[in-house]
Amino acid sequence: MSRTISSTVLPIQRAMAGATPRAWRDGLVIEASGSGLGVAFLDGTTVRFDVFDAVELTVGEPVAYHPVAEILDAGKLATTARAV
């Protein structure tokens, strides 16, 4: 599987994510509309995100989010996302 890192992810964000690998949170997409995304994390919390790149995700897809680096990783694409 090829993976794309969006141009919205800055080198400093990648460095921060690499420096704190335990901060990643796993979840499932529960809502996908326009540039917004709802994610239910495995700890039971739900968060709404503004996504800064065109991400075509569907409900039920697994994602990982790094809250310090603000990176949303959908496996095939990593992009910048901010919790709202």
pLDDT tens readout for residues 19-30: 999 999 999 999
CA atoms of 63 and 29, how far apart (whole Å):
7
Rounded mean pLDDT, 74-79: 86
* Amino acid at the residue 68: V
Residue 1 has pLDDT above 50, yes or no: no
The pTM assigned to this predicted structure is 0.88
Rounded mean pLDDT, 56-83: 92
**In total, how many domains does the chain have?**
1
Residues 6+ apart with CB under 8 A from 22: none
Q: Which pLDDT tens digit goes with each residue over 34-69?
A: 778 999 999 999 999 998 876 788 999 999 999 999
Domain range enclosing 30: 4-83
CATH of the domain at 75: 2.40.50
49 touches 72 (CB < 8 A): yes
